[in-house]
Every structure is written in C-alpha cells, then in structure tokens.
Amino acid sequence: MLALFLVTLGMWIGLLAATQILLPAQIESLDPAHKVRSLSLVVTVAAVAAIISAPVVGAVSDRTKSRFGRRRPWVAGCALVCSAALFSLPAQSSLLGVGVCWVLVHAGVNGMHSALCATVADRVPVHRRGTVSAVAGLAMPLGLVVGSLLVAGLSTGNGYLLVGALLLLLTMPYAVLAGDGRWTPGPDAAGPSSERPPGRSPRELYLGPWRHPAFVWAWASRFFAQLATSLATLYLLYFLRDEVRVGDPAGGVAVLSLLYTAGAVAASVAAGWLSDRMGRRKPFVVAGALLMAGALIAMAAFPHWSAAMAAGAVLGTGYGVYLAVDQALVTQVLPHAQDHAKDLGLVNIAGSGAVAVAPLAAAQTMPLGGFPALFGLATVCALAAGASVLPIRSVR
C-alpha cells in the first residue's frame, strides 16, 4: 500500500502543482493580455488527449503479460513521459510548445491513473476498498499542497524541474518493488459480472460498459464532482489576485491548498473506514457533495480572504469524503473483472472530460457574472454529483 500511495502522490504533485501555479504563471508571462483564453485552450486540448490515453493505456494494461506484471510497466512508462514533458516546459517560449508539453503531461498522468486504480479493483476485497481508496485518495490533496508549497517560492522553470524529479523519485518504489504479479480474481474482486464474454470486438469493449445503468450513473457523478472542483480551482490564482486582491497570490494558493488538504486528510480516511464498517457508500458520497456545495456558495457570496480560507477547508473536507468513498463505489459497479483498468480508464474520462469542459464553461460563465457566477455553476455541479448516485441500486 505504501508504494501505491507514493506513486500516486508523485503523480498528483506533477500534475496539480503545475496546474495551480506553474502553468498559469508561464502562460501569463507569454500572453498577459489573453491569459484566461490561452490557459483555457491549453488545458482543454490536454484534457482531450487525456480522455484518449486513459482507456487506451487501461485496455493495453489489462492484456499485458510480462514478468513485471500487468500494471507496473505502464505506470513506469507513463511516469517517464510525464517527467520528460515537465523537464521540457521551462525551455518553451511559445504557447504551442507549452501546449505540446502539457498534452504529454496530462496524457501521461491519466495513463498512470488508469493502471493504478485497477490495482485496487484487482487485489482489494470489497469490504476493505473504502479504507484503501481513502488512503490512496489522500495522495491527491497532499500532492496539491506539497507541490504548491514547494514551488511557491521558486521560479517557474525551477518549479517544473522539481515536480518532474519528484514524480520520478516517488514512482521508483512502485516500479521496482511493488508486487504486481499475474492477475487472478479474488472471491469478491469482481463487479457485477466477473467474466468477460468471449470474442468481443474492440467496439464492444468500449461501448459495452455504457449498457450498465449503475456504471453510467457512477460516471456522471464523477464528472459533475470533478467539474465542480475544476471550476473552483482552475482560475484560483486569478481569483485571489483580481477579486480577493491578495498581495501574494501564489502564496495564497499554497495556504488554501494547505487548508484544503487538512480538511481532506481529516475526513477521507475516517469516511472510508466508516463506510467499510457500515457497508454503505451512497450516504457518504451525497454528504461529501453537499459539503462541497456549501463551500462553493461561500466562495461565490463572500470574496474575502477569511471566507476563502474557511471555504477551502470545507471544500477539502467534502471532496475528501466524496472521493474516498466514491472510488470504492465505482469499483463495485465495474461490468467485467478482467477489464478493470480499461473500465476505470473510462471512468477517468469523466475527470478528464470535466477538466476539458471547465475552461469552456468558465469562458461562457465569467462574462455573465464574473467569479460569483463561476462558483454558482460549480455549486450546481456539486449538487448534481451527489444526486447522480441515488439511482444506483446495486450499491447501498
């Protein structure tokens, strides 16, 4: 479990520190007059690439047979691609160059994520998935705060080099030591159908899961939750600079990230453990979504530093509860046990799709009402995330 946690932490440090601070700062230096539009374009194109990479890497991982296992070769390979792109970003002096590198970063992270998530579905019994998913899920908020704190005082170029090096370093224990092994389904490792029907075409492999309503509702919930957080955090640096008027916006992002992480850490492991003990998933997912909505309402109504700090802590608490338990819920609605990585790659498309949609939605919303309208839209998405799990009947 430690190796899984470390590689996931490195993955999120590489992506989130760059997304929150480094990429917006670099784009602002290249195109200050159109920074919002340029950032939206780069993030959207990269998210589309991630949408493609997640199920592709997942499907190939499901069918990989090597002495290193099914997952490790792809996790290590995607980490190398991602780190190489991060190391290349400081040398870019055009939006095109930044965009190409960011496509590789995002595609690499999503490929890693698909293979890593499948490890839980492959090897962890259902009655322990809430706890394990919560521990692995801690890596995301910790990656955000650790990455933000580390790069806040550095130049953009040095920040990219640092997070790229950390990604490689934290991947090594999993790549070298993790016991991936050959896949053998455990007694309760499967989803609704434990065996893959023989002779399915590639078209059927990708379209088949959408015929399962529980999978579709779980996908929708993840999409809305990620869209809510993406809308709230994508322009956080600009929000603190232009609306709250914080003297040190990058430092402000680091402080909010710390509060967000504290809330997530305090809530996620407890929620995952309690969810396992009670055998219930949906009440925790709904509660997490409601907490997120409350925090987003506060950000829309009170654009002040003290309110932003309180909202950051509550948002982290809600997202920690939501993501820890929702990840366990998702593993229980996967259609076929032998397609775990591919199907989880399709679920990860919900996150990447939300990241792609968020800049487009923000571009349409901001002219109508600025940041209050943006956070209002994020609130609606958080509520939709909670409502979407209610029709799932196969999970309590």
> Is residue 266 domain-resident?
yes
Q: pTM, whole model, 2 decimals?
A: 0.73
> Is residue 197 domain-resident?
no
Lookup result for tokens 């076929």: 336
Phi (first) and psi of residue 167, to 5 degrees: -60, -45
- Quote the domain boundaries for residue 290: 2-180+209-388
- 208 pLDDT above the threshold of 70: no
pLDDT digits (tens, 9 = 90+) for 25-79: 999 999 998 887 898 899 889 988 888 887 888 878 877 777 777 788 889 999 9
- 254 pLDDT above the threshold of 50: yes
Please say whether the beta carbons of 334 and 344 come within 8 A. yes
| Consecutive H or E run containing 99 | helix 95-123
How far from chain centre, in Å, is Cα 274? 23
pLDDT in the model for residue 115 = 84
> Is residue 294 domain-resident?
yes
Per-residue pLDDT band for 186 (boundaries 50, 70, 90) equals very low
pLDDT digits (tens, 9 = 90+) for 102-146: 999 999 998 898 888 777 777 777 777 777 777 777 787 788 778
Q: Could you give the CA distance from residue 114 to residue 222 in angstroms, rounded to a whole number?
A: 14
Crossing angle of helices 340-388 and 305-331, in 10° steps, is 130
CATH number at 306 reads 1.20.1250.20
Among the listed residues 13, 271, 274, 23, the one whose alpha carbon sits nearest the alpha carbon of residue 147: 13
Angle made by CA atoms 12, 14, 19, in degrees to the nearest 5: 90
pLDDT in the model for residue 178 = 63
Domain count, the chain: 1
Per-residue pLDDT band for 193 (boundaries 50, 70, 90) equals very low
Residues 6+ away with beta carbon under 8 Å from 74: 57, 60, 61, 64, 111, 112, 115
Please say whether the beta carbons of 273 and 134 come within 8 A. yes
Per-residue pLDDT band for 217 (boundaries 50, 70, 90) equals very high
| 279 torsion bin: left (phi>0), alpha (psi -120 to 50), beta (else) | left
Tell me the C-alpha to C-alpha distance, in Å, between residue 163 and each of 212, 220, 234, 259. 39, 31, 19, 21
> Is residue 144 domain-resident?
yes
What's the chain's average pLDDT? 85
How far from chain centre, in Å, is Cα 217? 18
> Is residue 230 domain-resident?
yes
> Is residue 245 domain-resident?
yes
- 315 pLDDT above the threshold of 90: yes
Among the listed residues 225, 260, 31, 28, the one whose alpha carbon sits nearest the alpha carbon of residue 144: 260
